[in-house]
């Protein structure tokens, strides 16, 4: 693998990671309303899920799932329900902000939410099929394919960890601290709105 090809892989993975969407909303939500540590765990979970998708793309499984409308629509519907569930949970939350403590409670849940929101987004299947098709070949060796998978996971996790650090900076938190309840309800409404918009798009 040449250095130029490696840089191209990093760039396309980064472009996919920085695209706004439900994943970004979930990571930011956990970073702000739980704490920075949970935001990082969510980011790592999301990166792990992306690594699984990259593996699927390399093995050709993503293409099979994309062409099977029943499986594809099933995954899409589950992702919508999951997003609406997070929205309702956020609206009903009465938890207080805890920015300073690295509380391990619920850490597995945060990691799982990050992984789930990536795995339950069928658009990522399409994305990896599109961007990785230019790198796939029957002549690829194990090392090259391994780099494809690991790079996708690491780039995604690093981007969301960076985003977590930005939204939990002192400037951002000073703005958020006095608006905790209102912001949680606002984020919940956004989650539910995105969920219903995706549902309408799916049914139309």
152 within some domain: yes
166 within some domain: yes
18 within some domain: no
Residue among 15, 22, 24, 6 at smallest CA distance from 166: 24
pLDDT in tens, 100-143: 455 556 788 899 999 998 888 766 766 666 666 667 666 778 88
Please state the pTM of the whole predicted model: 0.71
Q: How many domains does the chain have?
A: 1
pLDDT in tens, 80-92: 787 788 788 878 8
- Answer yes or no: is pLDDT of 51 > 70: yes
86 within some domain: no
38 within some domain: yes
d(CA 105, CA 38): 9
Domain of residue 142 covers 32-78+95-175
**Using alpha carbons only, what angle is made at residue 165 by residues 162 and 171, rounded to the nearest 5 degrees?**
135
Query: Who contacts 134 (Cβ-Cβ below 8 Å, separation ≥6)?
Result: none
pLDDT in tens, 3-46: 888 888 888 788 778 776 778 888 888 888 888 899 999 999 99
90 within some domain: no
15 within some domain: no
51 within some domain: yes
Residue among 53, 51, 29, 31 at smallest CA distance from 41: 31
């Amino acid at each position: 693998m040449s250095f130029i090809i490696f840089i191209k892989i990093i760039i396309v993975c980064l472009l996919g990671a920085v695209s706004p969407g439900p994943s970004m909303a979930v990571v930011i939500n956990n970073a702000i309303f739980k704490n920075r540590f949970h935001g990082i765990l969510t980011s790592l979970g999301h990166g792990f899920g992306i690594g699984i998708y990259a593996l699927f793309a390399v093995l050709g499984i993503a293409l099979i799932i994309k062409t099977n409308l029943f499986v594809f629509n099933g995954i899409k519907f589950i992702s919508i329900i999951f997003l609406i569930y997070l929205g309702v949970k956020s609206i009903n939350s009465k938890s207080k902000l805890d920015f300073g403590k690295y509380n391990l409670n619920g850490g597995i849940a945060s990691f799982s939410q990050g992984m789930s929101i990536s795995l339950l987004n069928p658009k990522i299947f399409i994305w990896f099929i599109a961007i990785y098709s230019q790198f796939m070949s029957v002549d690829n060796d194990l090392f090259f394919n391994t780099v494809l998978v690991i790079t996708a996971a690491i780039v995604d996790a690093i981007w969301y960890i960076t985003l977590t650090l930005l939204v939990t900076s002192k400037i951002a938190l000073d703005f958020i601290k006095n608006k905790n309840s209102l912001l949680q309800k606002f984020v919940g409404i956004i989650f539910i709105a995105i969920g219903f918009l995706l549902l309408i798009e799916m049914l139309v």
